[in-house]
């Protein structure tokens, strides 16, 4: 739980049975603390690399460094767990080109006691690397580096215990279409991004597909044409907290989105996102929604600040994820679609036609105690929220997914301060013939009446320290009412 809520723990404990406890308190300018990944005190052999080194004459010592990263990487045993020692490649200041780095960083198996570190010897902003593409590697840590290839900066597939700390990842301006994803991680476990700056892609700055366990904390994620960050494809057990996310196109941060069925991994074969905690982030200047959930379950979104969000649509969305079996019959990997469906996954092997994608529901999404602030002169285009109405249809019936498929099952929206447009700004749950919506009057958890009763919607203008100057913290002494956050149902 966040630092803001930790301070209330004694009060909450006294009334734990009352899930809807109201709490009114002064918001202090606190900086929540998040626990970084613990590297420990591993056994390491240092390998030095320098732009003035020599692969032929050097031995990787500080006195006789290698010239290329490739030479140092090849000293690490391949396809075998490191049982005697780990390795730290210490990069002396300079720029390392693609010709001086491995084309494919593959199959190096560090362990907790013997990991593999790639680290700038003199700290941040002293080493520039090209694009890095990692496959099938474990306990691999990149620390204090700058990746600036002018295209996709970093990719890791089938990684286990990957750490990106104190680093800068620079793709390209979204309008150039030179970088699709700045940092992409797929089919990986225990992924940790900390205290880094990630920017520049026409699609996503951070793209997680089928990533389970880990966190993205205290980082800056920005300048992306689509969502600045999403975790989808059966991503699970992730903390996304204390980040600043901004200059995004489609949206800021999303739990779930749309995935080719064959790219998921067992046992996370139904929802797009499981057990994500999106806490205490500042998300500003997003053309679309600041936060979204697209096919998620047990998603907690709390303590975030959204500022200047949704000018072309809405501030927050709770909608369906999408699922299809990509490609054509006979394509490699496509056989997994039928196998995953037989294992209880939600999807099929139908050829995608642009309309038959499976809609993935939401269940138990809790949106608590956030500040949504569009200052005077700025407002979302259509509504505060978008919440989809239930979905039926033949494609849904044949995919194993619950029907009717709902985006609002156990959706709880409470304790939020929303300042956006005027009193006539729609909530986003008003049903019309052209756009049916979720959260109808008979929904026990979420309805128009409940939203207005349990949230301050255009009744309390937030007070932030200096948002136009980049300080989005709530002003000391500003009071507002929040709700205690309940546990998810079993």
pLDDT in tens, 270-286: 999 999 999 999 999 99
Evaluate whether 359 touches 322 at the Cβ level (below 8 Å). yes
In this predicted structure, the answer to whether residue 1 has a pLDDT above a threshold of 50 is no
Q: pTM for the whole thing?
A: 0.93
In this predicted structure, the answer to whether residue 263 has a pLDDT above a threshold of 70 is yes
Band (136; pLDDT cuts 50, 70, 90): very high
**CB-based contacts of 459: which residues, under 8 Å, 6+ apart?**
none
Q: For Cα atoms 119, 121, 127, give the angle at the middle one, nearest 5 degrees.
A: 70
- Report if residue 453 sits inside a domain: yes
CB count, 10 Å around CB of 408? 26
pLDDT of 176: 97
- Report if residue 411 sits inside a domain: yes
CA dihedral 412, 390, 269, 340 (to 10 degrees): 170
- Total domains present in the chain: 1
- Report if residue 131 sits inside a domain: no
- Report if residue 435 sits inside a domain: yes
**Using CA atoms, how far apart are residues 285 and 305, in angstroms rounded to an integer?**
12
When pLDDT is averaged across residues 309-338 and rounded to a whole number, the result is: 96
- B/e letters for 222-249, b = 16+ CB within 10 Å, e = fewer, are bbbbbbbbbbbbbbbbbbbbbbbbbbbb
- B/e letters for 381-401, b = 16+ CB within 10 Å, e = fewer, are ebbbbbbbbbbeeebbeebbb
Q: Compute the mean pLDDT over every residue in the chain, rounded to the nearest whole number.
A: 94
When pLDDT is averaged across residues 454-471 and rounded to a whole number, the result is: 97
pLDDT of 19: 36
pLDDT of 31: 55
Distance of CA 311 to the CA centre of its chain: 22
pLDDT of 172: 98
Question: CA neighbours within 13 Å on the CB side: how many for 188?
Answer: 29
pLDDT of 13: 33
Band (394; pLDDT cuts 50, 70, 90): confident
pLDDT of 352: 86
- Report if residue 15 sits inside a domain: yes
- Report if residue 241 sits inside a domain: yes
Q: Per-residue pLDDT tens for 80-93?
A: 999 999 999 999 99
- Report if residue 338 sits inside a domain: yes
Q: Per-residue pLDDT tens for 21-71?
A: 455 444 444 556 799 999 999 999 999 999 999 999 999 999 999 999 999
CB count, 10 Å around CB of 54? 14
> Residue 386 forms beta bridges with which residues?
317
Fill in the DSSP letter of residue 351: B
Closest CA to 108 of 142, 58, 131: 142
In this predicted structure, the answer to whether residue 16 has a pLDDT above a threshold of 70 is no
In this predicted structure, the answer to whether residue 209 has a pLDDT above a threshold of 80 is yes
pLDDT of 431: 82
- Full 3-state SS string of 282-320: EEEEECCEEEEEECEEEEEEECCEEEEECCCCEEEEEEC
- Report if residue 180 sits inside a domain: no
Domain around 411: 1-33+226-490
- Cβ neighbourhood burial of 173 (10 Å; 0-12, 13-18, 19+): middle
Q: Percentage of residues in the chain with pLDDT exceeding 70?
A: 93
């Amino acid at each position: 739980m966040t630092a803001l809520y930790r301070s209330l723990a004694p009060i909450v404990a006294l009334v734990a049975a009352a899930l809807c406890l109201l709490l009114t308190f002064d918001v202090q300018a606190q900086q929540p603390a998040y626990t970084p990944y613990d590297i420990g005190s591993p056994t390491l052999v240092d390998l030095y690399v320098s732009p003035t080194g020599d692969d032929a004459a050097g031995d990787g010592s500080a006195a006789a460094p290698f010239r290329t990263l490739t030479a140092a990487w090849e000293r690490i045993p391949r396809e075998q767990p490191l049982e005697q020692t780990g390795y730290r490649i210490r990069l002396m200041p300079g720029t390392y080109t693609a010709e001086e780095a491995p084309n494919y960083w593959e199959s190096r198996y560090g362990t907790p006691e013997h990991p593999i570190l790639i680290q700038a010897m003199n700290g941040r902003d002293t080493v520039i690397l090209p694009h890095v593409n990692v496959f099938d590697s474990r306990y691999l840590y990149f620390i204090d580096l700058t990746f600036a290839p002018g295209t996709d900066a970093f990719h890791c597939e089938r990684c286990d215990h990957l750490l990106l700390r104190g680093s800068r990842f620079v793709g390209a301006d979204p309008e150039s279409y030179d970088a699709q994803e700045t940092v992409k991680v797929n089919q990986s476990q225990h992924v940790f991004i900390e205290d880094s700056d990630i920017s520049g892609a026409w699609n996503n700055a951070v793209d997680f597909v089928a990533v389970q366990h880990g966190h993205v904390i205290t980082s800056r994620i920005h300048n992306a044409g689509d969502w600045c960050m999403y975790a989808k494809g059966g991503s699970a057990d992730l903390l996304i907290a204390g980040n600043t996310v901004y200059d995004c196109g489609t949206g800021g941060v999303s739990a779930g989105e749309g995935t080719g069925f064959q790219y998921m991994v067992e046992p996370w074969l139904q929802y797009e996102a499981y057990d994500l905690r999106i806490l205490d982030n500042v998300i500003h200047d997003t053309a679309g929604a600041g936060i979204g959930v697209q096919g998620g379950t047990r998603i907690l979104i709390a303590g975030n600040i959204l500022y200047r969000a949704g000018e072309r649509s809405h501030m927050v969305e709770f909608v369906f994820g999408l699922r299809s079996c990509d490609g054509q019959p006979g394509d490699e990997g496509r056989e997994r679609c039928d196998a995953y469906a037989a294992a209880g996954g939600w999807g099929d092997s139908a050829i995608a036609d642009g309309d038959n994608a499976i809609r993935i529901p939401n269940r138990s999404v809790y949106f608590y105690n956030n500040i949504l602030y569009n200052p005077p002169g700025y407002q979302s285009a259509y509504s505060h929220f978008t919440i989809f109405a239930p979905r039926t249809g033949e494609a849904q019936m044949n995919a194993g997914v619950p029907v009717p498929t709902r985006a609002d099952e156990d959706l709880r929206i409470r304790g939020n301060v929303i300042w956006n447009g005027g009193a006539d700004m729609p909530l986003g749950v008003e049903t019309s013939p052209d756009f049916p919506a979720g959260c109808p009057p008979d929904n026990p958890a979420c309805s128009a009446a409940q939203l207005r009763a349990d949230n301050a919607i255009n009744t309390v203008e937030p007070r932030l320290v200096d948002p136009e100057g980049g300080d989005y913290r709530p002003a000391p002494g500003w009071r507002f009412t929040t709700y205690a956050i309940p546990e998810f149902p079993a």
